[in-house]
Structure 1
Amino acid sequence: MRQRIVVGVNGSLGSLAALHRAAAEARERHAHLHVVLAWQLPGGGLGGRATYGAAVLRECREAAVEDLRTILDCAFAVRRPGVTLSGLTVRGEPGAVLVEAARSGDDLLVVGTGLRGRWLPGIRPSVTRYCLEHATCPVLAVPPNPLEAELTAARSAGWSLPYMPEEGKR
């Protein structure tokens, strides 16, 4: 059986960096690239406790599939991955979904470390940390692009462009 490189995506810059690294690993190892997007009902994990009708579930599932298509189209618009690629959308907590998707000891799980604000650690657990603690296969944690870190730092410092009124409206 051919080795699989499993990568989690959500559309963030960190997940796109992980996707490109996973594609490079798959090319180097002649492996299959398996791209996974975990989705949840509106309200996140807590939304899963609410009662939703079949129509809402179907719409959320279809939106997740469309999100995955968009992510793949954007990520590989310039250069196709050059490997066999499959995509999967799964309803659930991202960390658990990724660990389940990479259940073979021969798999390689690739995740982006992402950037976390100072308030998020107490509210939302780190997907990367969950994968590192629970995966039965090797995990490659891809750090964020340095430019992404600089942009995030600038935003959190309150930097913004000054307001420039249109000519003639003073």
Structure 2
Amino acid sequence: MVGHIVVGVDGSAPATAAVEWAAADAQRRELALRIVHVCKQWPHSESTEYCAESLEAAAARARELTRDVDVTSELLSGDVIDVLVTESESADSLVLGSRGLGGFAGLVLGSVGMAVAGHATGPVVIVRAPSALQHGRVVVGYDGSGHSAAAMVYAVEQARARGAQLHIVSAWQVPAFSPYAVAYSSLIEDLMRQEARAARERIVPWREGNPDLVITDEQLCEHPVKALIDAARTADLVVVGSRGFGGFASAVLGSVSHGVLHHVTCPVAVVRPRAKEES
């Protein structure tokens, strides 16, 4: 396991929430915490001073919330997306606020978070705001794809570290038939039963391999994004693969992960398998 979590900050409120989430995660999983601020090179020195001050404040907040966690910080320069993606290559996970300074206030997720979630290595956790309410449940979307398997590994680790329940959501949509094609009703019912059975069978190895966890599951015939949004209402963390079955192979971020990032309010982890996990 890679030994540190990276959190990117910019002085915004969501970035502060990301620092607090990352600090708690580092404490739970006994990992080091690295805080970075990618500072744009403006003509005036005041911008660099602001970056340094916000970085220092983030590090102080992390140290305030942890004990025996190695907290380091570094001011970096360059393209923020490229730098954060590079940081992810040597990190256990990368944590970001849902949107930073300079974006539209109404946006749920900023362009940096979306781009990094689609290109980073390993888990990227997007945090919108602090949460005082704890549900004791980690939700993971699973369809049997390689990306969802990587999501399951991370979700299992998170549930174990939190002493939380792991809830597995499998959802699918049946092919569209004409509403007048009554003859297809039995076929649709058969398809639903087959999908549900296959989904239950896929999670058996995960249940057997993690007997210490309380694992619940549900199989739903509805859009996966809606199923995960509903499950997220009582979740501390939602975990999805960066893409699953059914999407274009070249897509860096699938429609399900894209939809979950935009609509789920609790922290969301998007997991892209590392190169060795895809081989």
Q: What is the TM-score of this pair, normalised by structure 1?
A: 0.70
Partner of 2:203: 72
Does the C-alpha gap of structure 1 residues 54 and 135 become closer, same or farther in structure 2, counting only changes over 3 Å? same
Give the alignment partner of residue 194 of structure 2, picking from 32, 43, 63. Answer: 63
User: In 2, Cα distance between the equivalents of 1:48 and 1:38?
Assistant: 19
Aligned length: 141
1:138 aligns with 2:271: no
Partner of 2:227: 97
Give the alignment partner of residue 3 of structure 1, picking from 136, 158, 169. Answer: 136
Partner of 2:243: 114
Does the CA contact (< 8 Å) of 2:243 and 2:255 recur in 1?
A: no
Q: Which of the pair is proportionally richer in strand?
A: 2
Rg larger in 1 or in 2? Answer: 2
1:41 aligned counterpart, secondary structure = coil
User: In 1, Cα distance between the equivalents of 2:210 and 2:229?
Assistant: 26
Matches within 5 A, 1:34-73: 34-42=167-175, 47=176, 50=179, 51=181, 53-73=184-204
Q: Which amino acid aligns with 1:3?
A: G
- Please state how far the C-alpha of 1:57 moved relative to its aligned partner: 3.5
User: In 1, Cα distance between the equivalents of 2:277 and 2:178?
Assistant: 34
User: In 1, Cα distance between the equivalents of 2:232 and 2:171?
Assistant: 13
User: In 2, Cα distance between the equivalents of 1:49 and 1:29?
Assistant: 47
Q: Which amino acid aligns with 2:261?
A: L
> RMSD between aligned alpha carbons?
2.6
Does the C-alpha gap of structure 1 residues 60 and 139 become closer, same or farther in structure 2, counting only changes over 3 Å? same
User: In 1, Cα distance between the equivalents of 2:257 and 2:272?
Assistant: 10
Does the CA contact (< 8 Å) of 2:143 and 2:170 recur in 1?
A: yes
Matches within 5 A, 1:3-42: 3-42=136-175
- Please state how far the C-alpha of 1:100 moved relative to its aligned partner: 1.5
User: In 2, Cα distance between the equivalents of 1:34 and 1:48?
Assistant: 31
2:212 aligned counterpart, secondary structure = coil
Render the CA deviation track for 1:111-132: whole Å, top value 9, x for unaligned: 01137523x68xx962111111
Give the alignment partner of residue 88 of structure 1, picking from 211, 218, 221. Answer: 218
User: In 2, Cα distance between the equivalents of 1:11 and 1:40?
Assistant: 15
1:17 aligned counterpart, secondary structure = helix
Structure 1, gaps ≥5 residues long: 152-170
- Please state how far the C-alpha of 1:54 moved relative to its aligned partner: 4.2
Does the CA contact (< 8 Å) of 2:135 and 2:236 recur in 1?
A: no
Higher RCO, Cα 8 Å, sep 6+: 1
Q: Which amino acid aligns with 2:257?
A: T
Render the CA deviation track for 1:87-120: whole Å, top value 9, x for unaligned: 101112212221121123x5310001137523x6
Does the C-alpha gap of structure 1 residues 147 and 4 become closer, same or farther in structure 2, counting only changes over 3 Å? same
User: In 1, Cα distance between the equivalents of 2:171 and 2:188?
Assistant: 14
2:174 aligned counterpart, secondary structure = coil
User: In 1, Cα distance between the equivalents of 2:213 and 2:196?
Assistant: 21
Percentage of matched positions with identical amino acids: 31
1:25 aligned counterpart, secondary structure = helix
